[in-house]
Amino acid sequence: MKYFTLTLLSALGMMASLFGQQGASVSFEKYLGLHQAGGAVISPNGNDVAFTVTSTEWDANAFDSEIWLSRSGSEPFQLTRTTKGSSTLARFSPDGRWISFLADRGDKTQIYLISVNGGEAFPVTREEEGVEYYDWKPDGKQIAFTKTDPESAREKSVKASYGGFAVEGQDFRLSHLWIISIDPDSLNNPGMPPCKTADKDSGSSRLPCWRFPKAQRLTAGSFTVTGFKFSPDGNYIAYNHQPDPLIKSSVHADIGLLDLSSGKSRALVTNRSSDFLAAWSPDSKSILVHSALDDTLSDYYRNQHTLLVDIHSGKTTDILKDFDEQVNVVDWNSTGIYFTASRKMKTGLFVYGYPAGTVSGLDMEGDVIGNVSISRDGHAMAWSARYFDKMNEIFLRSSGSASHQLTRESAQIATWNTPVNQIISWKSRDSALIEGVLVKPRNFDPRKKYPLLCVIHGGPTGTDRPDPLASYVYPIMQWVEKGALVLRINYRGSAGYGERFRALNVRNLGVGDMWDVLSGIDYLQRQGMVDTSRMGCMGWSQGGYISAFLTTNTRIFKAISVGAGISNWITYYVNTDITPFTLEYLQANPWQDPSIYARTSPMTHINQASTPTLIQHGELDKRVPIPNAYELYRGLSDRGIPAKLIVYKGFGHGITKPKERLAAIWHNWIWFNHYLFGEPLEELP
């Protein structure tokens, strides 16, 4: 694991001192510097567990993920060290002797192997376009992967003659399936390095060297492959494909079947709407598919169907029809079909007993189950999870034994003055039952009235849960320690509460969401705990949209922060890379029904706005393009309302680097501290 330098730590400490994080015992830098564990993968025999630990590299301004390994439940150790970048997508070889992973070590993203006993990692691909995704064939003799097609001769010629330009809807390159044969033992020779690029196709080299396995193309055509899985017997590859890699094309995703013996592909699942491969049956005769069937108008918020499809007859069975939530199948083995799903604020692991058809919840460590990995025989599993008051940890359960916690990430915050999280519920304006997380200081006094900050999640199908470190770019823990309450609202549309609840904001975006926020504030006010003269609201993405809607439709807040939020649905519709989202939630395009676009757009009521508003946005955001930010900023500024627009250079929809995330946290801290706590409206140096 990498560590930042004392000099940089000192500089960051001086910045914190300069701006005075008064009332907070933990600096933003310390919070952003926490190690985070996740991505557990169990070995085929169930003995070993690989997982990633993500750390903060301040000098490189990056979050770095590296692979750690626990052998037979022992103390984990760091296995990989990619100097400038991360090591991701760990996989055990079928014999359990090797761990493969993806890394860019100066020659695009390639597949690397490293022994479970440690040592030096070595590459097994040298693809000029890099590798996107990969998996092992069950016999361990081959690895299949996807990569982007190179520029064609015509594309290169056009660029050379006319420079760079793009045609909307056509600016992409397709990805396809490839495969290599591999014998790790013959490649892992310390005295024989890989041949250099100049020698890779020649028959001679001054020094003995081994040559990279030659890749064989498996698919071709006017489609892009987005995922795949080998059948357990190794005879087939089922793969997802869609017309192009643009996100709006996912609604047309289908599944093809490749017979490896003949090299021929055929269509396997081709419903009118999206079909996504989930798992193979243990006998290699069937696959599981998450599908919207023929629904192209509401699949964003409706439950997906889970289909069992016979690969030979095509017979399809719709299972889990009575399970009212989105399911995520993680494995199908001789003991059943395993899937994760949310139940309100908790996430659990369930098993579907096939063919009996019964669903059972499993008793697992953790309130929020992350990824789950199950051994080949189905009797051991590793998973990532956290309790509501802890950080994410890695767990192992072997056959016939109790769960064993492999990591101790929560020790990092054991001495922190983390807040108390309380789950509360109330009825909204239309009697819909809404849940939220009330974040309180440990020394909470029920006789006192506190400033209130509402923090609204994105999605809308996100879910807020109790969390000692809830933040992103909002310093929740520090505000609570400073003397505020924070309310995090699972407004209508949030996941975990069933299909009907997720559909409650269809043709009612913003409006119904506003009811849920304001009714939550009313509930707390009736409890006598809120100082209503000092309230603020903020959120990112859909949470930013709801915050913008509150900016132009209410006057109860002292300050608001809009992060990557929609200000005008027409502006959004004509700019975003995900137009189906708007069509499904508003059920029309702007030319068919301009009234619904006006009713749900913050800008419609810009002349009613009066709240000082901070606007934060990524410069290159394609999901919520930046014209939304400029439109809201100009509307507020023209009316003389205090507004500040901060553009984070080079970023898309999320702030993915630590320094800029630190800046975004400071921007929110300074903004709300000024308007709620009366502190100076400072600027970062």
Is residue 346 assigned to a domain? yes
pLDDT at 205 exceeding the cut of 70:
no
536 in the same domain as 389: no
- Written as six digits, the tokens of 626 are 């930046």
* Closest C-alpha to 347, from 311, 401, 293, 387: 387
pLDDT of residue 198: 47
Residues 357 and 433 in one domain: no
The region, left, alpha or beta by phi > 0 then psi within -120 to 50, assigned to residue 457 is beta
In a domain, 372, yes or no: yes
Check: CB of residue 329 under 8 Å from CB of residue 304. no
Please compute the mean of the pLDDT values over residues 195-203 and round it to a whole number: 53
Q: Is 39 left (phi over 0), alpha (psi -120 to 50) or beta?
A: left
Q: Are residue 481 and residue 617 in the same domain, yes or no?
A: yes
Q: Average pLDDT in the 347-361 region? A: 90
Backbone Cα Rg of the chain: 26
**pTM for this predicted structure:** 0.93
Structure tokens at 262: 């003949």
The CATH number assigned to the domain holding 638 equals: 3.40.50.1820
> Is residue 12's pLDDT more than 80?
no
The mean pLDDT value for 394-413 works out to 92
One domain, residues 557 and 465: yes
Band (2; pLDDT cuts 50, 70, 90): very low
pLDDT category at 309 given cuts 50, 70, 90 is very high
Whether pLDDT at 4 is above 60 = no
281-297 average pLDDT score = 95
Q: Which helix (H) or strand (E) holds 249?
A: none
In Å, how far are 65, 328, 339 from 41, measured between CA atoms?
Answer: 15, 16, 16
pLDDT top residue among 415 and 211: 415
- pLDDT band, very low/low/confident/very high, at 86 (cuts 50, 70, 90): very high
pLDDT score, position 674: 96
Do 566 and 648 lie in one domain? The reply is: yes
- Sign for the pseudo-dihedral over CA of 655, 658, 661, 667: negative
Domain coverage including residue 402: 324-412
Res. 16: pLDDT tops 70: no
pLDDT band with cut points at 50, 70 and 90 for residue 192: low
Instruction: Report the pLDDT value the prediction gives residue 6, as an integer from 0 to 100.
Output: 36
Interatomic CA distance for residues 679 and 659, integer angstroms: 24
User: Residues 513-564: pLDDT tens digits?
Assistant: 999 999 999 999 999 999 999 999 999 999 999 999 999 999 999 999 999 9
**Whether pLDDT at 18 is above 80:** no
**Bond before 460 cis per omega within 30 degrees:** yes
**What is the mean predicted confidence (pLDDT) over 420-425?**
98
Mean pLDDT score, 369-379: 95
What is the pLDDT at residue 152?
Answer: 87
598 and 566, same structural domain?
A: yes
Is the domain of 348 the same as that of 465?
no
Give the bridge partners for 265, in sequence order: 258
The domain boundary, picked from 412, 434, 461, lies at 412
Burial per residue of 494-520, b for 16 or more beta-carbon CB atoms within 10 angstroms, e otherwise: bbbbeeebbbbbbebbbebbbbbbbbb
Is 456 found in the same domain as 437? yes
Q: Going along 328-417, which residue ranges are E strands?
A: 328-333, 336-343, 346-353, 358-361, 368-374, 381-386, 393-397, 404-405
Examine residue 199 and state whether it is found in any structural domain, yes or no: no
Which of 108, 71, 98, 81 lies closest to 1, judged by CA? Answer: 81
Does 464 reside within a domain?
A: yes
Asked whether 112 and 194 are in contact (CB, 8 A), the reply is no
Q: In this predicted structure, what is the pLDDT of residue 19?
A: 52
| Same domain assignment for residues 448 and 563 | yes
Last residue within a domain, chosen from 380, 412, 444: 412
- Per-residue pLDDT of 132-178, as tens digits, reads 999 999 999 999 999 999 988 888 888 899 988 888 888 889 999 99
* pLDDT score recorded for residue 168: 86
Cβ(251)–Cβ(296) below 8 Å: yes
Residue 7 has pLDDT above 50, yes or no: no
| E strands present in 512-565 | 530-540, 559-563
Q: What is the mean pLDDT of residues 267-295?
A: 96
Same domain, 614 and 645: yes
Count: domains in the chain: 2
Cα–Cα distance between 177 and 218 in angstroms, integer?
Answer: 5
450 in a structural domain: yes
Buried b (16+ CB within 10 A) or exposed e, 476-486: bbbbbbbebbb
pLDDT, residue 445, reads 95
Q: Rounded mean pLDDT of 304-329?
A: 95
Length of the chain: 685
In a domain, 56, yes or no: no
Q: Peptide bond before 44: cis, by omega within 30 degrees of 0?
A: no
Q: Residue 399 — pLDDT band, cuts 50, 70, 90?
A: confident
Instruction: Please determine, for residue 660, whether its predicted confidence score (pLDDT) is greater than 70.
Output: yes
Give tens-digit pLDDT for 218-272: 999 999 999 999 999 999 999 999 999 999 999 999 999 999 999 999 999 999 9
User: Is the pLDDT confidence value at 1 over 90?
Assistant: no
Residue 648 has what pLDDT?
98
Instruction: Quickly count: other Cβ atoms within 10 Å of residue 34's Cβ.
Output: 16
Question: Average pLDDT of 456-484?
Answer: 95
> Looking at 396, 412, 428, which one is the last position of a domain?
412
- Where does the pLDDT of residue 494 fall: very low under 50, low under 70, confident under 90, or very high at 90 and above? very high
What's the CA gap between 237 and 262, in Å, rounded? 12
Q: Which range is most confident: 19-28, 165-174, 474-483?
A: 474-483
- Are 538 and 669 in the same domain? yes
397 and 385 belong to one structural domain = yes
| pLDDT tens by residue, 103-128 | 999 999 999 999 999 889 999 999 99
Q: Does position 10 have pLDDT exceeding 60, yes or no?
A: no
314 domain-assigned: no
Residue 495 placed within a domain: yes
| Cβ count near 117 (within 10 Å) | 10
pLDDT confidence band for 200 (50 / 70 / 90): very low
Beta-carbon count within 10 A of 83 CB: 10
Instruction: Select from 162, 153, 278, 134 the least CA-distant residue to 218.
Output: 134
How would you label 300-330 residue by residue, b for 16+ Cβ within 10 Å and e otherwise? bbbbbbbbbbebeeeebeebbeeeebbbbbb
Percentage of the chain exceeding pLDDT 70: 94
Backbone angles phi, psi at 597, to 5 degrees: -70, -35
| 35-56 tens-digit pLDDT | 999 999 999 999 999 999 999 9
